[in-house]
């Protein structure tokens, strides 16, 4: 079938895009390569379409479909979308993506090169011809221009032949393979799609379930994005998959997305509304009671579907403080031990099953944790990790917000309800980084969790790089007991920098004691938690990587926003790199596990100021690693967006 006919079929609604297909992800380099191949009549592959009844078709967009049968594009979407955009000068009806990728493409009559419009280079050069102008308006005016222009006329015949060849791209025939038959259900077709799309990202059952919902409720994706945007504006970055998982557990009580296949649009709408309300409620509770009030300290995201299900099933709120605290106790335990870091669906289903039909669903959840973990007590070794990427970093922040911790410059409590979100709490190195590096301590030692505390910005700046054995005495004289409120050992011998390692050990014990006391407070009323056998060596593993300063965190957040402005998906901050058994290996600052163009580009990791072990682990896991923001931006601009510079 000729390209022009294919485009006509799209306009007529006889050819469309199935709802489960993802959006347009090609960049300008890929567009140029396609047009160059077509111009030189190189093979570019055919199309695979699914022929199905129009009334049963779940197609992308609001475009009316033709009566009878419709052909849904399974393989070839990127090529056909590109050609439609260039030939028609506008995106196709099913378009979802960045139209700049195929807008303003030009062709050079002399070099036969395709490039995107650059005013400095092209404005006064008659050799550059707009490709879309040729496709839409024909050759008449261009042929006249060639013969009338003094610069072009000596080679007029050659240039006209090239124009004819360019316009002839529209008449190239694509072979179309059709998938037909009554046995070709949506599930079968998705399986076919995954096989022919082996180089890209596989469609999950969640994608398929959402596609079915969108067929009944076209605004479903937009509503999901609206909810995600509202949380992003509040400082929390969640994914579509995460929200869909919450809706799934609310509607079906199960974690597997296959449970959504029989859910109709009205039921899904109600589930989304209930899930959104429950998540908002939980974020307020977790921020108010635990002080975990922004994205970088919010652990245990996949505990939310379980808590969301519990709330919806019990009237949408906690009935008393004891119920609230027991749920929060379970929540904290899930993120400090990495309950959902590995086999997410398996553990979610186990926990959802434990709640189902139980007279004490919260108790059942805690029992599941005890069976899985064996010991829920925090030990000093758990604070032996380092960096803001460690799982116990949120717990340190939490303790500072809920206990008696006070600011060292003002003596005022750091309680969540007193400071609020605009308080500007900053992480503070108790023993200054510069002083420790001067004495040849390693990065892991400098950024040990036990060397972190939280202070207001003004206090942090005032202390600067003063040594503890000097500024500790001043603080204690001004505000007696303030040091102890931040779990500083009372022994002044430990305040000397030459005894730094002993200080860390002593403070780890104090932090563990404070953690257990708070967790016991939350769990009050439960049967005592018994200490079973536990592999202490596992607790002592030092995990590297992560974000070591507020400045670094802000830089990564700003970079994520910049990436989104380019029409690309945001990356995952503080990504947990796991081994085959689901154990935590390293923490990676900012990653795109599926690539910046999902399934079409390699996994990427941005690792700022990390050690060689982190780089080696990320590289071994298949990530292309960048160690500074400028190099990463250059990669995005040149390799992903394929924007010419100069």
The answer to whether 335 and 378 have CB atoms below 8 angstroms apart is no
Can you give the pLDDT at residue 189? 64
Q: Report CA torsion sign: 120, 121, 123, 124.
A: positive
Question: Token pair of 500, please?
Answer: 């730094």
Question: Token pair of 136, please?
Answer: 């839409």
**pLDDT, tens digit (0-9, with 9 covering 90-100), for 13-57:** 999 988 777 778 888 888 999 999 999 999 888 888 888 888 877
Name all contacts of 109-113 with Cβ < 8 Å and 24+ positions apart.
Answer: 109/146, 109/152, 109/159, 109/162, 109/163, 110/155, 112/39, 112/162, 113/36
The DSSP H or E segment spanning 444 is: helix 443-446
The answer to whether 145 and 126 have CB atoms below 8 angstroms apart is yes
**pLDDT, tens digit (0-9, with 9 covering 90-100), for 63-91:** 888 998 999 888 888 999 999 999 999 99
Question: Token pair of 533, please?
Answer: 């056998």
The chain-wide mean pLDDT, for the chain, equals: 84
Residues 433 and 361 in one domain: no
CA–CA separation, 84 and 96 (whole Å): 13
Residues 34 and 107 in one domain: yes
356: how many CB neighbours lie within 10 A of its CB? 13
Residues 214 and 341 in one domain: yes
Domain count, the chain: 4
Helix (H, G, I), strand (E, B) or coil at 591: strand
Query: For residue 196, is it within any domain?
Result: no
In this structure, are strands 128-130 and 15-16 parallel, antiparallel, or unpaired?
unpaired
CA–CA separation, 127 and 268 (whole Å): 56
Backbone angles phi, psi at 590, to 5 degrees: -150, 125
- Domain termination residue (choose one: 156, 186, 216): 186
Residues 18 and 161 in one domain: yes
Residues 496 and 560 in one domain: no
The answer to whether 211 and 20 have CB atoms below 8 angstroms apart is yes
Distances from the Cα of 562 to the Cαs of 33, 230, 558, in angstroms?
26, 18, 6
Domain residue limits at 262: 204-373
pLDDT at 142 over 60: yes
**pLDDT, tens digit (0-9, with 9 covering 90-100), for 377-418:** 999 988 886 655 567 888 998 999 888 899 998 888 887 444
CA–CA separation, 563 and 56 (whole Å): 37
Distances from the Cα of 577 to the Cαs of 302, 344, 347, 546, 599, in angstroms?
16, 14, 18, 11, 19
CA–CA separation, 170 and 80 (whole Å): 11
Residues 96 and 114 in one domain: yes
Backbone angles phi, psi at 626, to 5 degrees: -120, 145
Can you give the pLDDT at residue 193? 62
The residue-averaged pLDDT of 249-264 equals 85
Query: For residue 63, is it within any domain?
Result: yes
CA–CA separation, 416 and 418 (whole Å): 5
- Domain termination residue (choose one: 496, 520, 539): 539
Can you give the pLDDT at residue 420? 41
Residues 625 and 530 in one domain: no
The residue-averaged pLDDT of 516-539 equals 57
Residues 347 and 305 in one domain: yes
Query: For residue 191, is it within any domain?
Result: no
Query: For residue 195, is it within any domain?
Result: no
Can you give the pLDDT at residue 111? 94
Query: For residue 517, is it within any domain?
Result: yes
CA–CA separation, 209 and 222 (whole Å): 15
**pLDDT, tens digit (0-9, with 9 covering 90-100), for 557-611:** 788 888 877 878 788 877 777 776 666 667 788 888 878 876 566 789 988 877 6
CA–CA separation, 19 and 219 (whole Å): 12
Residues 488 and 353 in one domain: no
CA–CA separation, 352 and 355 (whole Å): 5
Residues 287 and 239 in one domain: yes
- Domain termination residue (choose one: 186, 221, 239): 186
Residues 95 and 155 in one domain: yes
**pLDDT, tens digit (0-9, with 9 covering 90-100), for 445-488:** 888 889 999 888 788 888 988 999 999 999 999 999 999 999 99
């Amino acid at each position: 079938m000729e390209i022009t006919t294919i485009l006509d079929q799209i306009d007529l609604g006889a050819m469309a895009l199935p709802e489960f297909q993802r959006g347009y992800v090609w960049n300008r380099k890929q567009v140029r390569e396609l047009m160059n191949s077509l111009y030189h009549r190189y093979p570019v592959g055919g199309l695979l379409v699914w022929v199905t009844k129009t009334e049963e078709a779940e197609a992308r967009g609001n475009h009316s479909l033709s009566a009878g049968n419709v052909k849904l594009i399974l393989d070839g979407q990127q090529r056909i979308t590109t050609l439609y955009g260039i030939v028609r000068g506008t995106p196709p009806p099913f378009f979802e993506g960045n139209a700049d990728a195929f807008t303003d493409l030009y062709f050079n009559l002399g070099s036969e090169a395709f490039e995107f419009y650059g005013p400095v280079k092209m404005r006064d050069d008659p050799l550059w011809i707009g490709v879309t102008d040729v496709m839409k308006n024909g050759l008449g005016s261009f042929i006249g221009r060639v013969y009338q222009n003094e610069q072009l006329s000596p080679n007029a015949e050659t240039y006209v032949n090239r124009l004819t060849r360019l316009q002839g791209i529209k008449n190239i025939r694509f072979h179309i393979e059709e998938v037909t038959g009554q046995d070709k259900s949506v599930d079968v077709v998705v399986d076919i799609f995954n096989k022919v799309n082996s180089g890209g990202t596989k469609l999950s059952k969640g994608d398929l379930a959402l596609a079915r919902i969108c067929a009944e409720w076209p605004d479903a994706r937009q509503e999901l994005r609206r909810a995600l945007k509202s949380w992003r504006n509040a400082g929390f970055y969640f994914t579509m998959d995460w929200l869909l998982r919450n809706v799934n557990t609310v509607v079906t009580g199960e974690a597997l997305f296959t449970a959504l296949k029989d859910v109709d649009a009205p039921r899904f709408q109600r589930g989304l509304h209930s899930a959104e309300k429950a998540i908002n409620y939980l974020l307020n509770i977790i921020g108010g009671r635990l002080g975990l009030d922004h994205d970088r300290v919010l652990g245990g995201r996949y505990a939310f579907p379980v808590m969301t299900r519990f709330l919806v099933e019990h009237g949408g709120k906690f009935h008393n403080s004891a119920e609230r605290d027991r749920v929060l106790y379970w929540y904290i335990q899930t993120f400090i031990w990495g309950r959902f870091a590995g086999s997410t669906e398996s553990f979610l289903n186990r926990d959802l099953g434990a709640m189902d039909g139980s007279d004490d669903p919260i108790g059942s959840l805690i029992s599941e944790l005890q069976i899985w973990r064996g010991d829920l007590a925090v030990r000093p070794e758990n604070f032996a990790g380092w960096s803001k990427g460690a799982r116990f970093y949120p717990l340190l922040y939490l303790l500072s917000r809920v206990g008696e911790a006070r600011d060292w410059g003002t003596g005022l409590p750091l309680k969540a309800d007193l400071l609020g979100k605009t308080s500007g709490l900053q992480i503070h190195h108790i023993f200054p980084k510069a002083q420790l590096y001067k004495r040849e301590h390693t990065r892991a030692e400098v950024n040990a969790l036990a060397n972190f505390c939280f202070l207001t910005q003004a206090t942090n700046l005032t202390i600067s790089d003063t040594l503890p054995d000097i500024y500790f005495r001043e603080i204690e004289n001004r505000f007696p007991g303030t040091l102890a409120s931040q779990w500083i050992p009372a022994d002044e011998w430990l305040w000397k920098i030459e005894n730094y390692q002993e200080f860390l050990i002593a403070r780890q014990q104090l932090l563990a004691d404070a953690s257990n006391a708070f967790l016991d407070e939350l769990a009050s009323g439960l049967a005592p938690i018994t200490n079973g056998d536990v592999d202490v060596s596992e607790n002592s593993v030092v995990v590297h990587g992560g974000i070591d300063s507020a400045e670094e965190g802000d830089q990564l957040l700003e970079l994520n926003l910049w990436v989104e402005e380019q029409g690309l998906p945001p990356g995952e901050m503080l990504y947990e790199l796991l081994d085959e058994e689901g154990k935590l290996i390293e923490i990676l600052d900012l990653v795109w596990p599926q690539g910046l163009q999902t399934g079409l580009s390699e996994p990427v990791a941005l690792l700022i100021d990390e050690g060689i072990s982190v780089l080696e682990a990320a590289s071994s896991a298949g990530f292309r690693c960048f160690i500074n923001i400028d190099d990463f931006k250059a990669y995005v601009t040149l390799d992903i967006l394929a924007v010419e510079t100069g």
